[in-house]
Structure 1
Amino acid sequence: MSTTLDGPRIAPASGTATQLVVFLHGYGADGNDLIDLGAQWQRWMPDTAFVSPNAPEPCGMSPMGRQWFDLTFQNPNERWVGVNHAAPVLNAFLDSELARYNLKPAQLALVGFSQGTMMALHVGLRRPEQIGAILGYSGIIVFDEARGPESLADDITSKPPVMLIHGDQDQVIPPQALPISKQILDDLGVPTQAHISRGLAHGIDGEGFQRGGAFLLNSFGIPLPK
């Protein structure tokens, strides 16, 4: 995949970036879907740059949207094939963004939603140098169905702090995905927090926004707002 990613950006309010947050949107959306989170979090993180790249492919089910990989629900391993297919272009984008702001990997956080969470976990746990944090909404960790989740121990290269947030009324990716993913990450030794938002379907609510923002601040070593 030779596509170069780009998408909406928010420059650091202070004028100089000391952290970078990259949003990874869900299936059928685009970079505009999550960038407003950055606009709201920026009041807590004035030295942070935010970018929300459009996924590399047009979405087969939503021609106006984008996808990190296709979903047919006919191949039980298509998520695994998909995250591996999309990983190189996302890694290249992350490398270029870190270079753009002259930042180190520890100053990078990935924030994903749904399919974007799958990408955030897949790429974030395999970066050659550990990144600062992974925040995943309404997603699940992906593994090779033929080898099982135990195979991830041979694949991951770093263990950044992770927070997973999921709605208990999610009918797109069932809420059971959260405890399953957390257990897998716990077994791998990845420090993982989890939160269930009551009454929430496939989305992000105010509580999830607040908890996610606090997690990023803590991961970056930024004092919590008073």
Structure 2
Amino acid sequence: MPDYEPPLILEPPAGTGVRASVIWLHGLGASGHDFEPLIPELGLLERGVRFVLPHAPEQPVTINGGAVMPAWYDIREPDINAVPDADGIRRSVDYLQRLVAAEIAQGLPSGAVLVAGFSQGGVIALHAGLTHPAPLGGVLALSTYLALPEALSREMPPANRAVPVFLAHGTADPVVPFALAGAARDRLTGLGCAVDFHAYPVPHTVSLDEVADIRAWLAARLAPWLD
């Protein structure tokens, strides 16, 4: 079983209490440092939001010739959704839910904890966030898809249909086809989830317009805990 290193944690400035937290998972081949430069641009650290940036474990990735790299789960086929690594996905979902539990154990209500992820990290954030036993404050999922949609439909508690979901995707994404984003939106909407869907004319990346939309969405979701 792969090992998970301790996450990178960005705390609010000294003297500012922690009122909420965002746990943000990176994509394949990256690390918790990947989105570190973005965090100050969101303007939330100084308002009492802790950011937890986990590192995926090192493991072989079949589609990359078995090369060992940071990965939340294996990708076995060029069609990323053809043969999902259900065991690997569930290991990382369990890990993320343990990180959520650690935030709650420090005194935060579940509604003050949000999960986020890019690409592979978004797969884990969606499944973990929407199947968590208590409703979280929101799920931010970027350039990603639902790897286990049938399981999610079975396992999502009814109360989690009210959890806000931000889905964003590049229309020119060659890694995670844009059609998978639409399928995720349609599946979640069909389950009764409140989905805020955004499309941008970019490849497999995060655009400046997307960052502005993320900033506004996070501020709105966290407002009850920060104001």
**What TM bracket, shorter-length normalisation?**
0.7 to 0.9
Alignment partners' CA distance in 2, 1:46 and 1:65: 35
Shift of residue 6, structure 1, vs aligned partner: 1.8
Secondary structure in structure 1 of the residue aligned to 2:169? strand
Amino acid at match of 1:40: E
> Aligned residue for 1:32?
33
Secondary structure in structure 2 of the residue aligned to 1:110? strand
Q: Deviations 1:154-176 (Å, cap 9, x if unpaired)? A: 21122310011111110000111
> Aligned residue for 2:185?
182
Equivalent residues of 1:45, 1:217 under 8 A apart: no
Q: Deviations 1:43-96 (Å, cap 9, x if unpaired)? A: 576210111010133354496841111112188332434322322222222212
Percent identity of equivalent pairs? 26
**Worse-superposed segment, 17-26 or 71-80:** 71-80
Give the unaligned 5+ runs of structure 2.
none
Report the aligned-residue RMSD.
2.5
Pick aligned residue for 2:111 from 94, 106, 111: 106
Amino acid at match of 1:164: L
Equivalent residues of 1:139, 1:178 under 8 A apart: yes
> Aligned residue for 2:131?
126
Alignment partners' CA distance in 2, 1:191 and 1:79: 27
Amino acid at match of 1:72: R
> Aligned residue for 1:152?
152
Give the unaligned 5+ runs of structure 1.
144-148
**Worse-superposed segment, 189-198 or 3-12:** 3-12
Equivalent residues of 1:35, 1:51 under 8 A apart: no
Alignment partners' CA distance in 1, 2:94 and 2:181: 26
Aligned CA distance change for structure 1 residues 80 and 2 (closer, same or farther; 3 Å): closer
Compute the TM-score of the two structures, normalised by the length of structure 1: 0.86
> Aligned residue for 1:67?
71
Aligned CA distance change for structure 1 residues 93 and 57 (closer, same or farther; 3 Å): farther
Q: How many residue pairs end up in the alignment? A: 217
Aligned CA distance change for structure 1 residues 28 and 164 (closer, same or farther; 3 Å): same
Normalized per residue, the structure richer in helix is 2
Compute the TM-score of the two structures, normalised by the length of structure 2: 0.86
**Worse-superposed segment, 104-113 or 75-84:** 75-84
> Aligned residue for 1:146?
none
Aligned CA distance change for structure 1 residues 99 and 44 (closer, same or farther; 3 Å): closer
